[in-house]
Amino acid sequence: MERHYGWVIVAAGAVITCLAMGAMFALPVYLQPIAEETGWTRAGISGAMTVGFIVMGIAGFIWGTLTDRIGARPVVLIAAVMLGLGLFIASRATDLLVFQLAYGGLVGASGGAFFAPLIATTLGWFDKHRSLAVSLVSVGGGIAPMTITPLATVLIATYGWRSAMMMTAIAAAVLIIPAAFLIRRAPAALAEAPSPGSDVAPAEPRPINMGAIFRTPQFFILAGVFFLCCAAHSGPIFHTVSYAMLCGVSALGAATIYSVEGFAGLFGRVIFGVLADRIGVKRVIVVGLAMQAIGIYCYIYVSDLQHFYMLAVVLGLVYGGVMPLYSVLARDYFGPNVMGTVLGGITMTSSIGMAFGPVGGGWLFDTFGDYHWLYVTSAAVGIAAAALALAFPPKTTKETPADALPA
């Protein structure tokens, strides 16, 4: 029975991720009502999200390292309180700086405490189906925009943005805290079990501390691929609505492209997770990154909504499916004892990669007057990610001793 408890961890992780990421990333629907009531600039309000991304990346590394020492449950409990407190203070703020510190600082710091700790714990509970398990935990983040964001919109229309944010703060904390008590460390024997379907060579010797992790080539390749992957798709994700509108698509139609990508990403997580368990995570990541680059490049040839939808399905499936698999690769390389630190480190690099896309895409548009070079450049970065992923050390097959061969 204890062996199957991992699926309870998966369910709790998906719920927690949905609530936490949904509460944090709902800020865009608050933007207009906050600006209208307070007179704050949209740039100032949006700056809270920018601060949040930066803080989340740095905090994710700290939370991950802490998870290796004390476990995921206390980390998630502390983060749930910080999330609720940050949203509550932001909902009461009458000064923009206070709002930015509360939302970007407290909420952003709490956001970094969910991915690495939950995924690290989930990985420890599975020797088989690891890829599928972590993909299902990440489904929570994919469902969040389809559930929490619309709910926040309804609450804002009914009660105003301050009450809506305050209710979200209370509900998130009240629901995440009991779910966190379901999280517990995996038994040592199960956590140490190798992945039978792994297609990469583990780091030898297995690192036991932060310094040893940072001396391995596996960490730098893994962090580099994650960085390039996010740098490749963040610009197209951020600017595609604007590009579609420039092509003559209505604002409402252009906005639905994101919904199609998000919905496709749910299926991508499951499909890629199952494939990785069957044929190896490295193979799936390399193929997925190549498909992502090709899909991004194809944007320069589309101009109508139907074709935007088709590409949204492809890209949603691919990057939604690939993203959770980096953690499985990390587990195969480094083992369970330093998973929080490793995942925190690579998540921090991915956040930096995500930050390059929107600003880089804006600069390319301002410089050349269109989005052509954004997609060309992003596709090139995507190809670089796939090429670097080929450098993951493959699994070697040891020769069977002669005396062990059957007669």
**Same domain, yes or no, for 62 and 156?**
yes
Mean per-residue pLDDT, 238-253: 82
Residue 196 pLDDT class (50, 70, 90 cuts): low
At 287 the pLDDT is: 94
Residue 192 lies in a domain: no
CATH at 113: 1.20.1250.20
Residue 261 lies in a domain: yes
Look at 71-75, 104-108, 258-262, 296-300 and tell me which has the smallest mean pLDDT: 258-262
At 120 the pLDDT is: 86
Mean per-residue pLDDT, 53-58: 84
Look at 218-232, 233-247, 296-310 and tell me which has the smallest mean pLDDT: 233-247
Is the predicted pLDDT of residue 47 greater than 60, yes or no?
A: yes
**Same domain, yes or no, for 37 and 173?**
yes
**Same domain, yes or no, for 12 and 62?**
yes
At 76 the pLDDT is: 94
Residue 400 lies in a domain: no
| Number of Cβ within a 10 Å radius of residue 358 | 15
At 240 the pLDDT is: 81
**Same domain, yes or no, for 179 and 220?**
no
**Same domain, yes or no, for 180 and 220?**
no
**Same domain, yes or no, for 173 and 216?**
no
As for how many domains the chain has, the answer is 2
Residue 194 pLDDT class (50, 70, 90 cuts): low
**Same domain, yes or no, for 89 and 227?**
no
Residue 267 lies in a domain: yes
Is the predicted pLDDT of residue 205 greater than 70, yes or no?
A: no
Is the predicted pLDDT of residue 401 greater than 90, yes or no?
A: no
Coil, strand or helix at 394:
strand
**Same domain, yes or no, for 226 and 179?**
no
At 370 the pLDDT is: 87
Give the contacts of 98 (CB within 8 A, at least 6 positions apart).
89, 90
**Same domain, yes or no, for 127 and 229?**
no
CB 19 within 8 A of CB 175: yes
Is the predicted pLDDT of residue 407 greater than 60, yes or no?
A: no
At 290 the pLDDT is: 96
When comparing pLDDT for 44 and 11, which is higher?
A: 11
At 277 the pLDDT is: 85
d(CA 91, CA 89): 5
Residue 180 pLDDT class (50, 70, 90 cuts): very high
pTM: 0.74
Average pLDDT, the chain: 84
Is the predicted pLDDT of residue 403 greater than 70, yes or no?
A: no
At 92 the pLDDT is: 95
Q: At what angle do helices 251-279 and 305-322 cross, to 10 degrees?
A: 40
Of 20-34, 49-63, 160-174, highest mean pLDDT: 160-174
Is the predicted pLDDT of residue 227 greater than 70, yes or no?
A: yes
Closest among 139, 121, 123 to 131, alpha carbons compared = 123
Q: For residue 362, with 0-12 CB atoms within 10 Å meaning exposed, 13-18 middle and 19 or more buried, which class applies?
A: middle
**Same domain, yes or no, for 86 and 176?**
yes
**Same domain, yes or no, for 168 and 49?**
yes
Residue 175 pLDDT class (50, 70, 90 cuts): very high
Buried/exposed code over 227-239 (b: 16+ C-beta within 10 A; e: otherwise): bbbbbbbbbbbbb
Residue 203 lies in a domain: no
- Find the domain containing 328 and state its range: 210-389
Tell me what percent of the residues of the chain surpass a pLDDT of 90: 34
Residue 400 pLDDT class (50, 70, 90 cuts): very low
Coil, strand or helix at 200:
strand
DSSP state of 402: G
